Amino acid sequence: MHLPIALIDYKAGNLTSVKKALATVGAEVFVPGRPADLASAQGVIVPGVGHFGATRAIDGEWTEAILERIGEGRPLLGICLGMQWLFEGSDEAPDLPGLGVLSGRCYRLGGVRLKPDTVDEAASDATVADAPVKVPHVGWNDITFDRSASIVDGVSSGAQVYFTHSYVAPITGDTIAFTEHGGRFASVVQRAHIAGVQFHPEKSGDVGLRILRNFLELAG
């Protein structure tokens, strides 16, 4: 399955391991140099590690081009910081908006949110526990499914994946799987052809490769 997949480079982490993992599952990966290059992509991936402020580099024309591709039905996958960017924003950079295709704000593990989430109270179990929590959250942890979705097809609830992050997304109606680390947070989200994973599939062995294959199925 050789599909052209755009991997957005906004200088938030090394793309090499992501490129290798995508090549392993049969993707034809390219890094667009300008927003117009996204027109040829069958799917778009926004990776990233680090501070939410790094996403400022994909404001403006990049955001518009990504929203256009979503509007055309092309799938979008956010990885780690890229998943957080799918939401309305993050307390890590309070004045910087996210893409806003998913409701809610990201917040620091073990911390107090600066602004309330725009999600209903029924989905409010994303609050963190009172006990101290190690931040950043680095290493292997499991994902527990709330419900099934195409992005996790063939992946078992309780599968171990690799995390490295300090901020998390809230539990909302778009949550597919959650993870416990000083509290419960969304580790996989999906709404139609928009998906995100808080962990790094490129570092998560066969489970991560299966998720990337599932994304290619969405793109195909």
CA dihedral 6, 10, 16, 19 (to 10 degrees): -10
Q: Catalytic annotation on 61?
A: no
Q: Catalytic: which of 72, 80, 88, 180?
A: 80
Phi and psi for 110 in degrees, rounded to 5?
75, 10
What is the secondary structure of 124-182 as a DSSP string?
Answer: -TTPBPSS---SSEEEEEEEEESS--GGGTTPPTTEEEEEEESEEBPP-TTEEEEEESS
For helices 16-24 and 205-219, give the axis angle rounded to 10 degrees. Answer: 70
Q: Catalytic: which of 2, 121, 200, 217?
A: 200
Closest CA to 23 of 180, 158, 162, 216: 216
Q: Catalytic annotation on 80?
A: yes
| Token digits of residue 96 | 């910087």
Which DSSP symbol is given to 189?
E
Q: Catalytic: which of 137, 181, 193, 202?
A: 202
Q: Catalytic annotation on 2?
A: no
Q: In what order do the strands lie in the sheet with 167-168?
A: 89-90, 105-108, 167-168
Could you give the residue numbers annotated as active site?
80, 200, 202
